[in-house]
Amino acid sequence: SCRRCIDACPTGAIVAPYQLDARRCISYLTIEMKGSIPIELRPLIGNRIYGCDDCQDVCPWNRFARQTAESAFLWRGDLAAPDLVELLSLTDEHFRERFRGSPIKRIKRRGLLRNVAVALGNTKEPAAIPYLEKALSKDDPLIRAHVAWALKMIKEADLSGSEPGFLHQPR
């Protein structure tokens, strides 16, 4: 009778007990998916740039999980709250260096920049505009498309008077 994960899922990916529509899951969209994130799901991603654990966080069964001492699974403070604007300007070399030993390397720089563009668009923060405009010059059409979407979201929010938020506090 528990519905905590169903109710907590930001995209409605958990469609019924024990049924996941992976095409809507933020972890799938930000980690596994290699192409364009569907436009209708981008606002629901919020400021997440690598996965989502909302369903895990609310699951009452997880209170029984043991904490691990395995270093590979421990929290890395240097990756906890990265600056989105800084991430948007990472070179290939800096990406490899910064995320050495991290599962984030799995999505490659291309996937990270796509995800960062979505998160920046969701901040609706006008201060991100110059950085996004600079990122429009990137060679990759996937990154450019997500950057263009982010710029559109911020500019539309600015015109409507929406409050910006969480530019430097990703989840």
The mean per-residue pLDDT over the stretch 23-47 comes to 98
Residue 162 has pLDDT above 80, yes or no: no
149: which 2 tokens?
């979407």
pLDDT in tens, 123-137: 999 999 999 999 999
Pairing outcome for strands 14-16 and 19-20:
antiparallel
Quick check: is 20 in a domain?
yes
Quick check: is 167 in a domain?
no
Residue reference for tokens 């990916």? 13
**Which residues in 142-159 are b (16+ Cβ under 10 Å) and which e?**
bbbbbbbbbbebbeebee
The parent domain of residue 111 ranges over: 4-160
Task: State the pLDDT confidence band at 163, using cuts at 50, 70 and 90.
Answer: low
Quick check: is 80 in a domain?
yes
The mean per-residue pLDDT over the stretch 139-167 comes to 86
Quick check: is 117 in a domain?
yes
The mean per-residue pLDDT over the stretch 107-124 comes to 97
- Report whether 90 contacts 98 (CB < 8 A): yes
- Structure confidence at residue 35 (pLDDT): 98
Quick check: is 169 in a domain?
no
Q: Count how many domains the chain has.
A: 1
Quick check: is 171 in a domain?
no
